[in-house]
Amino acid sequence: MNGTVLIAWLFFSVVFASLCGYIGFMKGYPFILGAAIGFVLGCIGLVIVAVMPRKTPAPVPELQLPPQAYRAGDAPLVSTSQPWAGPVETPAWVDPRTQPVVERVAGWYDDPYGIHTYRYWDGDDWTDHTSNGS
């Protein structure tokens, strides 16, 4: 008879431990915490875990960017004022030939097409002469 009582107690302790662990986990607590309460206290542990308040997640700290995330004179590459809102749309490519050109003297300038490092400006138009800076 004593063996039967021990097996029944062990069975119900495991059942209560599983139920309390699951309920506690769904409320944001570690599974093992609810399971321990259910195993030790049984039915009373189930009531305790059931009335425990839902655990609120910790607040997300504001994004801190390293200095290399900025280029001199530019806005930050990532917004620091808003939380992550998904990928940023890249602007459509604009043909630099259609943009107004500031009066420049002939010479080597940053490639407006972004293909090479430098492109030669002849004073009127961009030429096919390019350089990768070597």
**Sequential pLDDT tens for the chain (134 residues):** 578 888 888 888 888 898 889 888 888 888 888 888 888 888 888 888 888 888 877 676 665 555 544 445 555 445 455 555 555 565 566 666 666 656 678 888 888 888 888 888 888 888 888 888 76
86: left (phi over 0), alpha (psi -120 to 50) or beta: left
Answer whether residue 94 is part of any domain.
no
Answer whether residue 92 is part of any domain.
no
Any residues with CB less than 8 A from the CB of 25 and at least 6 apart, and which? 31, 34
Answer whether residue 58 is part of any domain.
no
Range of the domain at 42: 2-51
Q: How many domains does the chain have?
A: 2
Answer whether residue 36 is part of any domain.
yes
pTM of the model: 0.40
Answer whether residue 128 is part of any domain.
yes
Answer whether residue 44 is part of any domain.
yes
Answer whether residue 110 is part of any domain.
yes
